[in-house]
């Protein structure tokens, strides 16, 4: 059952984003475009920015956002040790209320390690 958690997440995300785009006005479309733009390589590497997005999502406790950034972190070559330290910062800043998200984050990360589990383009 390789990459099942992330696979299901990506499928739903894609399907629902299509629904959003049926309704989206100019502002919403601009927001989506801005949301892609801020993670692009710049003075800070894309890799660092994905870690920032991950920890921000983690302390704000959004499982879907966490999964999205976990996929991107893996694509950027973040190691399990780096991930653990980044989430460790999030855990201390955000407190025990983030623990259920920590659990699901490591579950999804494990899921991501399954060979062939994630396709290109999230």
Positions touching its own copies (CB under 8 A) are: 13, 16-17, 19-20, 22-28, 30-31, 34-35, 37-39, 42-44, 48-49, 51-53, 55-62, 64-65, 79-100, 102-104, 106-107, 109-110
Rounded to the nearest whole angstrom, what is the least distance from the CB of residue 69 to its own copies in the complex?
10
Q: Could you tell me the smallest distance in angstroms from the CB atom of residue 10 to its own copies? A: 13
How far is the C-alpha of 110 from the C-alpha of 89, rounded, in Å? 20
Angle at 41 between CA 38 and CA 43, to 5 degrees: 95
Contact present, 73 and 83 (Cβ < 8 Å): yes
Rg (CA), the chain: 15
Nearest distance from C-beta of residue 33 to its own copies, angstroms: 8
């Amino acid at each position: 059952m390789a990459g099942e958690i992330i696979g299901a997440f990506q499928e739903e995300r894609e399907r629902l984003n299509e629904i959003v785009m049926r309704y989206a006005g100019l502002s919403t479309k601009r927001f989506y475009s801005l949301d892609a733009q801020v993670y692009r390589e710049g003075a800070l590497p894309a890799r660092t920015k994905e870690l920032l997005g991950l920890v921000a999502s983690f302390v704000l406790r959004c499982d879907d956002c966490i999964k999205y950034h976990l996929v991107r972190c893996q694509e950027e070559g973040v190691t399990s040790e780096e991930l653990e330290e980044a989430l460790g910062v999030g855990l201390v800043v955000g407190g025990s209320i983030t623990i259920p998200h920590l659990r699901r984050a490591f579950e999804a990360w494990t899921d991501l390690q399954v060979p062939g589990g994630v396709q290109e383009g999230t």
